[in-house]
Structure 1
Amino acid sequence: MLAAMSTSPTPTSSPGESPSRERGDACPGSLRLHRADDGALARVRIPGGVLSIRQADVLREAARELGDGELHLTSRGNVQLRGLGQECGGRLAELLGGAGLLPSWRHERIRNVVASPLSGLDGRGRSDVRPWLTALDELLCGSDKAAGLSGRFLFALDDGRGDVDALGADVTLLGRSDGSALLRVGTAGADLRVSAVDAPRAALLAAETFLDVAREAGAWRVTELPLSSEELLEMTGTALRAAGVDTARVEHETPATGAQEPGYGLVGARGTSGPAALCAGVPLGRLTGTQWESLTRAGGEVRLTPWRSVVVTGVAREEAAARLAEWGTAGLVVGPDSAWTGVGACIGRPGCAKSLADVRGDAEAVVTAGEPGTARLPVHWSGCERRCGHPKGTWVDVVAVPGGHEVSRVRGDVRGGPVTVHGSPSDLAAAVTAARRTCS
């Protein structure tokens, strides 16, 4: 097993530049570790963020036995294990494989699938994407061709509410109220309508069509191709029809609610009978083993979200209030008034050699000094210009620079002029707070 493991740095590029593809994709996984300043790092892909209690227990055990004891959530609903020893590969593979978290060694890094975390729980979506999730993962792991995808290529399964559709995936399936699905490819201005039964196969064929072009172009994601998303959509339609999948080209359809990340606390309508689902936010995406166990012992399934929160299903309704109180006491976010709502950060110092500051410590200092409230933009703290893990849409960008930080507001691809703050923690807190309140 150790022969399957390796450690290599991840290639980087400056903002606005085309990424270098001179070397192979070095995106870390469970079998290929990344060397960081705090030890080796493993990124465990968890399609749809869905974990059984057994799988959750194994991840906690792996973090405790092999790493720093913490579980780090990513912006794709995956889990990173940090502080790993360089010789831990065989044991890690043994643990993950035994829990069903490595269904295919060849495909483990390409199982990048985000899914609407509240699908089937709150009645707001147009369809339940869970059957798509299971089918797509099986198709990916069974495709020799799909093994050539980059570890950065992303699938999104949206139940029609518009949450993960907004994350900029390479291939998206969007549920419709008539039971069909829309296939979205990159930023194309139209979609392909397919049946719900054909939807997972259509997503796989779209990715395989991408690979036909990507190999020659050296592209890892749809946005890096030399042709437009519209052209790729046409090619995908041709491939689908050749495979016997009925399609129809339709204009973009507005999602059901335009909802973004799940609200914290009880999910769905109050006063209903049956088990409940609860959602808790994780400050900076970092969970101790004790916090993780508190979450996983509460219900029947865990769903990790792309917003670094956790949805726990199957909670006894009479225990819901006590569980939320327990999580709040443990430092998790269980209501909208938390000062941690919308706050994210890269790993920063000392975990990353490229970082210029301990941005997690900086973020915590600003949160501690700030005031709770809900009318605020998301904020992401970055230790360098790579901005690892930053959100989509409109957000506040705080980047460490020599001697201080730059604070700016981002809307899509447009970045406002930065305010540079040197030295003063109080001035930095004031600048970040002001930027987050600028909602116009």
Structure 2
Amino acid sequence: MTRSNPDSCPGVLRLHQAADGPLARIRLPGGRLEPGQLQVLAQAAAELGDGNIELTSRGNVQLRQMHDAAALSERLAGAGLLPSRTHERVRNIVASPLSGRIGGLSDVHGLVPVLDAGLQAAERLAELPGRVLFTLDDGRGDISGLGGDIGVHATGADEFALVLAGRDTGIRISPADAVQVMLAAAHGFLDLGSGQWRLQEVDDGARRVIDLLGLSPGPDRLEFGAAQDIPIGWLDQDNGLVSLGAAVRLGALPARTAEFIAAIEHPLFITPWRSLVITDLDEWPAEQVVRVLAPMGLIFDANSPWLQVSACAGRPGCAKSNTDVRADATAAVESGRAQSPPAPNPPAGDAEIGDPDQPLDSTTIDLADSGAAMDPARTIEIRSAEDVIVAGRQHWSGCERRCGRPRGPVTDIVATENGYRID
């Protein structure tokens, strides 16, 4: 598959002109944010944008309606959130959020800064499309199922499986070699590519990259599933401290709430499920954090229906959207029409549709190319949003592109010119 258009993923230095104004995407390798960095993001959202920090499905963040791009880049550079002006869009690295603190076979967070530094040090890797995704899974299986391009998956404390195009290659490498092998694979992708945005789009891409690496696959293969494994609530760390996992309604974190989180002065991680994890707390402070932040809208309840619902930008952010899907999804949750029990027969499929990181109002991947054909027997036409009643994992989309759709079994609620269609 060869793209006719160059990759147009936004960043800090190249904003996306959304319908509601310029949008900036800030890469957070491994999802990690220091308290001071979150404070800078909160102030930028409040003073330069619409007052919210959007969490994306790659553990990045976005700021909408940015009216002063120069001021934004200056603030982010001062906070260490823009370490490279040439490589800023290619620093897409997701890692198991709880790694090194709760469970897992190997702590992968130590690999994140090394991989990030290696990407920035290689001048040629600035040519990578902004959609290429690096994945670091500590063996629990929460990250490898996200369909990354290049990654590793811990099979033990001292061994990783090399993952290419979202699949186990059968190659096993040591932690000491992991970053260099991933960087070599990124160079291999550039060697093979002819306009493709993802390794999956290169014909027989994984095998050809393996040939370039000169590595020999073994017989064993791991299977990865797309798990909706959101770490929520009170999480006891292996060292006796506490992490708190909190969901954010439709991934929009108000700047004022972010300032309160920053004031906790503990490291936090933005997860690929549009949630966050506040780490390394003693028990009493953790209790106080929940008491303060829960009334402000953070969700610490693992049974909340908000964990089942996602949505694209919709109106007014996206010119292609047929309606304000976020308002309709919110009304469905608040009225009880978005129910927590899993749907009886959700349509299967984990194709990448639209922009996986954030809904944008520019076409990214045609529906016909995605392989996500609808099952007519399961399609339901509904005139009014108030009549939409869906149980289980669901994604609300303003148009057929279904931007931001999570991987795995999901019921699609798609806005049309005449109402909604449930697939």
Matched, 1:190 2:169: yes
CA contact (8 A) 1:299 1:315 kept: no
Distance 1:265 1:330 in 2: 15
Distance 1:354 1:62 in 2: 27
Give the match for residue 59 of structure 2.
77
**Which amino acid in 2 is paired with 1:343?**
V
Instruction: Among all aligned residue pairs of Structure 1 and Structure 2, give the percentage whose two residues are the same amino acid.
Output: 43
Distance 1:170 1:344 in 2: 23
Distance 2:402 2:242 in 1: 36
- 1:32-57 per-residue CA deviation (whole Å, 9 max, x = no partner) reads 00111111000001111101111111
**Which amino acid in 2 is paired with 1:358?**
D
Distance 1:170 1:393 in 2: 17
**Which amino acid in 2 is paired with 1:341?**
L
Distance 1:188 1:73 in 2: 26
Seen in structure 2, the aligned counterparts of structure 1 residues 164 and 221 have a Cα distance that, compared at 3 Å, is same
Matched, 1:341 2:307: yes
Distance 1:71 1:209 in 2: 35
- 1:350-382 per-residue CA deviation (whole Å, 9 max, x = no partner) reads 111011110000101110111664546321111
Residue 232 of structure 1, CA deviation: 2.9
**Which amino acid in 2 is paired with 1:407?**
I
Residue 260 of structure 1, CA deviation: 4.3
Give the match for residue 267 of structure 2.
301
Distance 1:354 1:58 in 2: 31
Give the match for residue 208 of structure 1.
187
Listed as ranges, the matches of 1:37-436 within 5 Å are: 37-85=19-67, 88-123=68-103, 125-188=104-167, 190-214=169-193, 217-236=194-213, 238=214, 249-253=218-222, 260-268=228-236, 274-370=240-336, 373=340, 375=342, 377-408=392-423
Query: How many residues get paired?
Result: 374
**Which amino acid in 2 is paired with 1:99?**
A
Seen in structure 2, the aligned counterparts of structure 1 residues 261 and 31 have a Cα distance that, compared at 3 Å, is same
Give the match for residue 377 of structure 2.
none
SS of corresponding position for 1:84: coil
- 1:72-125 per-residue CA deviation (whole Å, 9 max, x = no partner) reads 11111111000111xx122111101111111111100000111101111212x1
CA contact (8 A) 1:300 1:312 kept: yes
**Which amino acid in 2 is paired with 1:348?**
G
SS of corresponding position for 1:310: strand
Distance 2:328 2:6 in 1: 34
Distance 1:81 1:178 in 2: 38
Distance 1:189 1:38 in 2: 41
- 1:302-359 per-residue CA deviation (whole Å, 9 max, x = no partner) reads 1000000000012221122232232221112111221212211111001110111100
Instruction: Give structure 2 stretches of 5+ with no counterpart.
Output: 344-391
- 1:372-410 per-residue CA deviation (whole Å, 9 max, x = no partner) reads 6454632111111111111001111111111111112xx
Seen in structure 2, the aligned counterparts of structure 1 residues 101 and 169 have a Cα distance that, compared at 3 Å, is same
**Which amino acid in 1 is paired with 2:404?**
G
Distance 1:288 1:381 in 2: 21
Distance 2:187 2:239 in 1: 44
SS of corresponding position for 1:313: strand
SS of corresponding position for 1:230: helix
Scaled by the length of structure 2, the TM-score of the pair is: 0.84
Seen in structure 2, the aligned counterparts of structure 1 residues 38 and 259 have a Cα distance that, compared at 3 Å, is closer
Scaled by the length of structure 1, the TM-score of the pair is: 0.81
Distance 1:159 1:319 in 2: 28
CA contact (8 A) 2:342 2:393 kept: no
Residue 194 of structure 1, CA deviation: 1.0
SS of corresponding position for 2:172: strand
SS of corresponding position for 1:130: coil
SS of corresponding position for 2:156: coil
Seen in structure 2, the aligned counterparts of structure 1 residues 258 and 213 have a Cα distance that, compared at 3 Å, is closer
CA contact (8 A) 2:53 2:255 kept: yes
